[in-house]
Every structure is written in C-alpha cells, then in structure tokens.
Amino acid sequence: MKKLLLLILMILMGFTCFAGSVYVMDSGKPDLVIWIAPYKSQADLCVYVAPHRSEARGKDEIWYFEKYRSSADIKIKITKYKSQADLKIYYVKYKSEAGWRKSHPWMGRLH
C-alpha cells in the first residue's frame, strides 16, 4: 500500500506545472499582450528572466522563456504600442528587484 501511494505521489509530482514559464508568440491568439517599458516607472511588473525553469515556479515576477509552446504556462505576444498591452513590463538585472509595482488584474494569474 505504501509503495502504491509513493508511486502515485511521484507521478503527480512529475505533472507539476512550473509557473512563470513563458512562450513568445509571433502569430495566433496569446494569453497576454505585453509592452516592454524603457523605464521602470512605466511598468506594472518588473520581470527577472531566470536561467533555469525551476526558479520561475509559482512566481509572477520571475520568467523562464520556453522554446516550445506546449511547455509554457502562458503564451505572450509583444507589442510596440503601450495602448495595446494588457501588461507593461520592465526587465530587471537582479532577482531582488523583480515584483509588482502596482495592483493589477493579472496579479497572481501568471502562474
């Protein structure tokens, strides 16, 4: 019985979703349209790009860019125009600088 429970637990852990994994789309309907702000003061969210997928788990502010659409938690499209964006982001150099700058409808929904 313990072995069966352990097996089920291991299988479920294998299907755990890594939040913050992002795929950038060229065409099609994205989950979110973003605009990359040139200044931190213009952004809703400051984003740190993680080198490893596991660092982005459960965090809106830490993203990991996926190579394949099917592996991503959220599909985004980047726009040139601020007015077309659902979310305005600014890339930060350090993980400690990442986070929401103001309250936003997408807060807590990116994972």
Asked whether 79 and 27 are in contact (CB, 8 A), the reply is no
Residues forming beta bridges with residue 77, ordered by sequence position: 33
- pTM score, two decimals? 0.78
Give SS3 for 45: strand
Give CA–CA dist 80/58, Å, rounded: 28
Per-residue pLDDT of the chain (111 residues; tens, 9 = 90+): 655 444 444 444 433 333 488 999 988 899 999 999 999 999 999 999 999 999 988 889 999 999 999 999 999 999 999 999 999 999 999 999 999 998 888 888 776
